[in-house]
Structure 1
């Protein structure tokens, strides 16, 4: 049963976490203290409920809390070995846990346990961090808060920081919280409501002071030529640059991207101080753990051509890698974890926007949100003083902390298609939907492309949030429409890795009844459509330099001469040969091109439901509802082919096991001897 302390703590956490002015995603932690009966002794025991490691305040539930005995946590003060052995204290928290289950205690647990207050909040608000990172932050704290808030010089999160804040609380009865230098804020109260009110007062007071007393142009004047491009031009340029930038960010390991062109980002990138401030990097540990120590900033004006920007981005990438390697070498010790990669996670392009990267879409999006937080912090600090983040040496201690490395090692093994971006045409139903579903299940980000936008978006919603899938309109017979869909893909996820040419239709007619219009329609959608999609996607695949996959959902009809099917079978043969041609042409870029030849897939098929099924049933003299079984009966295995069987083949062809396979057609037809490949 959930007690009042936990209910109030969860409600307070969710309220604070729902407002980005209070803290960033997954940043900060909250706690509450209370008493329960020890089930072993029957005696009352004082407990601490505190947000566990890795959780998010806005979505926190009771399962995300760590529950510890306060007497045991406080007893750790007697055995604390000092800051040089700080990491040992996190392991010691495991011996203070009460009961089963619950989240793992975070490094900030000591701050909550040792402060003599019923409820404690530790948050990362932009306004608070602006004061914390100002060169004269201590003086600003005294001036802004009038003695109600203390200043704590930078100290790495841990047991000693908890001791420091506890001492401040004990020695200063009128103090309601603290500004943690370079980091964030902490506030407390005798009740949950009081703690929340104190947190909000600190955040609002800081924000109001910055607004009332800050410089009008904290980032300086606008640099001529670096202003934001017009909306359409900006988005088009972002789409043109995205594949190259994703390739840069994915040199060491594949990354998913996110694009942001908010006013705050564009204003910062156009400003005179942007180069110097970007070079200083972020300060709050939550920020630079997700954005890397600093971003990569393009130093060309927005008026430069895309080709000029691409060339310069590649030059800057080489410089960034050398600089990051020098940073690692300067601060690493023999005990440090190996360097995790030297590519940027934030790439800034003046006039265009920000590209952020992570192992998945959520991580990429959150990295971008954190850099916007950093921009807000820099704005506030520069408005009142001078932005002065913690040193690179301290950043390294956090970034390559043994505890952070242990957290990374505990993460689950990635799925086979994690880090891959799939574009599936005709994906609102039948085979395409099954393929999109399977790829999303295996960790891919999926773009559901279909002529019917509403249905495409509905399928994408079934697969999950926009961090997993989006729906786009795509008339594959229209070159401009195809390019727009590919552009939407690279802006949504950073690039593209896997293309499935599945869109199709069919009209079952004998030669003499097949009109020129029938012929053109089927060839426009499947032969021409596959060509247009492959061409647009190949441009992005080549620019990324990451290889990739193009899959054609052809048909057994590409080799099997069935009756009354001239237009459909001819266009499927066209698709089949495109596989061979493109496999040869794109192989030098690491792009594999393969095909799948299904038998008639009746179940869930949009083609069969639109009249094709009735026509084929009439051709073979069977009832339409028996067509699937008719197809199955004429196969060697006597088993009907369903959409999921085709999706399985796509999964295998695009997975790691067939990495040396290209130019192949796989039959998924239960064995049609007349369609055997020779």
Structure 2
């Protein structure tokens, strides 16, 4: 484990904070404390419960109610509404109708009948594990230090050595009704025990007060951490280092080259989003002699392999001879071999009623000297999958150093991965949004149209990289969007689109963050107004540099990525009505915008054969929220039309055929149309969003 992971957990319980809380509120408090540290449990992993006396809403009598984390929740962020509530007397009565281990899955269907107070939160499969422990407060966590012991070949003996009779041990058993009965039996036979380690799974602890339960959990994990530190000190980890890490900058450069290739190969059924990790823990593992044999064993804890698949794909690479081209050439076969291996695993382990084989591609990709790539349906899931595999690395580190690491058998792993109850849970997932798994880069992203576009794309499930030359505006836009949509889906890149170097590095940054690119919205702009005789060469060149050369540079990088991924792509130019219709005193601006439109036509021709679509949105007179209207342009246009700046918006509204103002959100809607599958059969097209202007009708 890393130095951070080896440090002791602090006891964060604060009596002053809990003094005025209800029992249910103390359960939330306890859960959030435990979930705040990844050394205690991973995201979405583990669960907590309290048996609380409540008033029955029908009879008014006092009844015992189990409050337990509901299905799909996360203890670190859970609130009151995240807990299921069930009558304990009804849960105990379920034991009378239990028909044996062959039928334990049917017991899940009875849990809703035990619901207290019409609580809509679905009870999880772990409910019986908490219900039948005869203590009022129960924690079930997945600490790396504990799982390192639980996943060791001699985990029972190690548990006895470390904890004596305080913490017991139970052999591997899939979570469910039967394991709940095992826990009940253990508690009755070991009344003085404070908890139990479940082989290849995790830790159960309990107490007679919420504080006692929490402190027992923390103390147990700390004891395991301390023991592992002592036993691993001075020992060779993962068989020692086989190679060394490349420099951080080089690692990221390689990630930017490889991730789009991998993404393209695995996005056949649905687009994936990537995540790159090169932390010390990851690098220690991928650089080790034992990388391949340990990776092949797969993970142990069910939570781990549900997020990461049974095993990762190890990319063949020698950091001492960093030939990335050779890696790319060999990558296709490695991916195909992984799929074939996964299909073989499915065929060997499937049952007559097993669900159909799922996506056979790897989730985790390990590369010596570089780090780890993870790919999933969205950025959050990809990141969390990486976190889970780091948990698995920490487990393998401890287990293989003090004993022999063992993963779950293929059949046990399969029976959880393809569990019919898990399949039913997946079937209840909401339908993906229209841009789920897509990655967009928006130039001019900090401006009015750029922000509105980012919001529209984010609403449909895309990840968005905001690119802009204005760092302060970028920071503001990023903060705003992260608050609304979450930090995972928003990134920034400070790019001057006239700088070839900045464009190349900015796109590489975007790819290292998300694994590739699907949508380019080329929106960076400026506006200038001057009679031709007053138009300096500098002003002319500035327009051409930003509005023509800038659009060329970002399009070129996007095309490189699209062709690398081989899954199509989408470019949307934000041009202008002025690219089609002449305006007085704006020759440089109008000419540059016309160049944009013709560049888009050329690119539409070049990209069509590879399903790369290029289209144009032409706004007009988007005054509100637009950065170009906050400077001299507004005054210059007012002067050109011989009116005050206050009258300009109304002038444009009245000039339009529909007599309506045009806003950034209107432009964003047209951009979304071209970026989505709604326009899948359109390329080389133009949408005017100008409230109607006969001069700019396309012909």
Name the structure 1 match of 2:501.
480
Name the structure 2 match of 1:609.
630
Aligned-residue offset at 1:554: 0.8
Does residue 559 of structure 2 align to residue 538 of structure 1?
yes
For 2:609 and 2:301, the matched residues in 1 are separated by 44
Equivalent of 2:396, from 364, 369, 378?
378
Query: Residue by residue, what CA displacement relative to the aligned partner does 1:224-280 show, whole Å, maximum 9, x if unpaired?
Result: xx3210111111111121211222332332111111110100110000000111111
Q: Is the 8 A contact 1:270 1:351 kept in 2?
A: yes
Name the structure 1 match of 2:12.
none
Q: Is the 8 A contact 1:495 1:540 kept in 2?
A: yes
Does residue 286 of structure 2 align to residue 265 of structure 1?
no
Give the match's secondary structure for 1:86: helix
For 1:345 and 1:533, the matched residues in 2 are separated by 30
Give the match's secondary structure for 1:551: strand
Name the structure 1 match of 2:424.
406
For 1:154 and 1:674, the matched residues in 2 are separated by 75
Q: Is the 8 A contact 1:453 1:471 kept in 2?
A: no
Q: Is the 8 A contact 1:504 1:526 kept in 2?
A: yes
For 2:582 and 2:689, the matched residues in 1 are separated by 17
Name the structure 1 match of 2:24.
6
Runs (4+) off by over 4 Å: none
* Count, aligned residues: 675
Gaps of 5+ in 2: 1-19
Q: Is the 8 A contact 1:250 1:343 kept in 2?
A: no
Query: Residue by residue, what CA displacement relative to the aligned partner does 1:401-430 show, whole Å, maximum 9, x if unpaired?
Result: 111111111111111111111100111122
For 1:570 and 1:76, the matched residues in 2 are separated by 78
TM-score by length of 2: 0.95
Aligned-residue offset at 1:3: 6.6
Equivalent of 2:597, from 542, 567, 576?
576
Query: Residue by residue, what CA displacement relative to the aligned partner does 1:414-451 show, whole Å, maximum 9, x if unpaired?
Result: 11111111100111122111111111111111111111
For 1:374 and 1:125, the matched residues in 2 are separated by 10
For 2:487 and 2:558, the matched residues in 1 are separated by 21
Does residue 484 of structure 2 align to residue 467 of structure 1?
no
Name the structure 1 match of 2:164.
146
Deviates more, 1:325-334 or 1:568-577: 325-334
Q: Is the 8 A contact 1:499 1:550 kept in 2?
A: yes
Name the structure 2 match of 1:677.
698
Q: Is the 8 A contact 1:149 1:177 kept in 2?
A: yes
Name the structure 1 match of 2:409.
391
Equivalent of 2:437, from 419, 436, 443?
419
For 1:84 and 1:173, the matched residues in 2 are separated by 29
Name the structure 2 match of 1:157.
175
Query: Residue by residue, what CA displacement relative to the aligned partner does 1:152-189 show, whole Å, maximum 9, x if unpaired?
Result: 11110001001001110110112111111111111111
For 2:518 and 2:673, the matched residues in 1 are separated by 15
Aligned-residue offset at 1:102: 4.7
Name the structure 1 match of 2:300.
283
Does residue 62 of structure 2 align to residue 41 of structure 1?
no
Equivalent of 1:210, from 201, 204, 228?
228
Over aligned residues, Cα RMSD in angstroms?
1.3
For 2:56 and 2:573, the matched residues in 1 are separated by 64
Deviates more, 1:272-281 or 1:190-199: 190-199
Give the match's secondary structure for 1:57: coil
Does residue 155 of structure 2 align to residue 137 of structure 1?
yes
Q: Is the 8 A contact 2:457 2:672 kept in 1?
A: yes
Query: Residue by residue, what CA displacement relative to the aligned partner does 1:289-339 show, whole Å, maximum 9, x if unpaired?
Result: 111111111122123322111122222001001111111111112311111
Q: Is the 8 A contact 2:298 2:408 kept in 1?
A: no
For 1:487 and 1:24, the matched residues in 2 are separated by 30
Name the structure 1 match of 2:102.
84
For 2:678 and 2:492, the matched residues in 1 are separated by 29
TM-score by length of 1: 0.98
Aligned-residue offset at 1:193: 1.3
Name the structure 1 match of 2:91.
73
Name the structure 2 match of 1:229.
246
Does residue 271 of structure 2 align to residue 254 of structure 1?
yes
Q: Is the 8 A contact 2:444 2:468 kept in 1?
A: yes
Does residue 641 of structure 2 align to residue 624 of structure 1?
no
Aligned-residue offset at 1:614: 0.9
Aligned-residue offset at 1:39: 2.3
Query: Residue by residue, what CA displacement relative to the aligned partner does 1:540-589 show, whole Å, maximum 9, x if unpaired?
Result: 12111121111100111111111111111111111101111111112222
Q: Is the 8 A contact 1:260 1:354 kept in 2?
A: yes
Does residue 518 of structure 2 align to residue 518 of structure 1?
no
Name the structure 1 match of 2:572.
551
Aligned-residue offset at 1:598: 1.2
Deviates more, 1:226-235 or 1:166-175: 226-235
